[in-house]
Amino acid sequence: MKILPILVLTLSVPAVALTAASLTPASAPVAASATSEAVKFKIDSGHSSVLFRVKHFGVSNFYGRFNKIGGEISWDAKNPEASSISIEIDAASVDSNDKGRDDHLRNTDFLSAKEFPTITFKSKSVKKKGDKLELTGDLTLHGVTKSVTTAVEFTGEGETPFGYRAGFEASFEIKRSEFGVSGVPGGVGEDVRITVALEGVKA
């Protein structure tokens, strides 16, 4: 049976960078900087995940992932609004567990990975919302940049045998056609759910 290609999108899933636009008035930048206790973390690609979920012929949910993720997180636990995140994803690292489908996903029907080799997310603001964070930033996919807002869960931090580490997770949905990704209409769903689970090691 021929397997139709499935779209992969990321976070900016995609995707995510935690960039926090400071809520401190522009007239007091020095004070905002002085109170920040942000710690820099380098995203650990081997322990981070960017997953996508899309409908196949309106029947089932299909999942895939990106295998190469990079970027940096600046995390201030006492003042989350001073945090930020920047994520870079290698579009050609898309993995749907089928080589033929992965090659199709990389071509012009979907990711156009040669023309647009990197998917990025750069945060613009972070706000505290109960026990979670509200993150807003720019997701750039297939050469198109759009604003995305998502809830982010801080999953933990602490010393490990491999350095001090921190984790974050977020899920959100995008419409692929809004990013110019419209191959195989009807077979591949329009709505794509992106899940980003990041682990960073203190720089």
Distance spanning both ends of the chain, measured CA to CA: 48
pTM: predicted TM-score of the whole model, two decimal places: 0.82
CA 175 to the chain's CA centroid = 15
Look-up of token digits 């567990």:
97
Chain centroid offset of residue 36 CA = 24
Q: What is the pLDDT along the chain (203 residues), one digit of tens a residue?
A: 433 443 333 333 333 333 333 333 343 443 444 467 899 999 999 999 999 999 999 999 999 999 999 999 999 999 999 999 999 999 999 999 999 999 999 999 999 999 999 999 999 999 999 889 999 999 999 999 999 999 999 999 999 999 999 999 999 999 999 999 999 999 999 999 999 999 999 99
Q: What is the 3-state secondary structure (H, E, C) of 104-159?
A: HHHCCCCCCCCCCCEEEEEEEEEEEECCEEEEEEEEEECCEEEEEEEEEEEEEEEE
* 71 closest CA partner among 158, 10, 162, 150: 10
Beta-carbon neighbour count of residue 24 at 10 Å?
Answer: 17
DSSP H or E stretch at residue 31: helix 29-35
Integer Cα distance of 58 and 163 in angstroms: 44
Q: What is the CATH number of domain 29-202?
A: 2.40.128.110
Q: Which helix (H) or strand (E) holds 71?
A: strand 69-75
